[in-house]
Amino acid sequence: MGSFNFNVNSEEKIFDVKVEGSFSEGDAVSFINQYNKHTASFNPTEYIIDLDCTDLKVSDNDVLPMLEQCYKMYKESGFSKVIFKIKQNTILKMQLGRIARSTGLSNYEIIEV
């Protein structure tokens, strides 16, 4: 089961997102709904989105389309930068990078912590 948490840091212009576990399709739908609710309260083009994925598990193939949809949302929202923070995990890093490239998300950075 996956979980998530959002925090808008208006002083530093950072939208902090914490995601952890393995996301089901239902978790992804809930994430998207909450994401839309939070991003309606500020102008994403003035913000960096900082996604803490340090406790995120590699996604199953059936959830990948939902993950791709999330990447498209980040791109369409117009964040100045998209940062993914992960623990050292080659497979997860490759998965996140591959989805970013396939969705045309070019302003991303994957940071291993």
pLDDT tens digits along 77-106: 999 999 999 998 888 899 899 999 999 999
> Can you point out the beta strands (E) in 1-113?
3-9, 14-21, 48-56, 81-86, 108-112
Between CA 42 and CA 58 the distance in angstroms is 30
**Strand, coil or helix: 107:** coil
Q: What is the DSSP letter of 64?
A: H
Nearest Cα to Cα of residue 60 among 18, 102, 89, 22: 22
Residue 24's φ and ψ, nearest 5 degrees, are -90, 175
In the predicted structure, residue 73 carries a pLDDT above the cut 80: yes
pLDDT greater than 80 at residue 9: yes
Span 42-61, pLDDT tens digits:
999 999 999 999 998 866 77
Number of domains within the chain:
1
Q: Which domain holds residue 60?
A: 3-112
CATH code assigned at 84:
3.30.750.24
pLDDT given for residue 89 in this prediction: 86
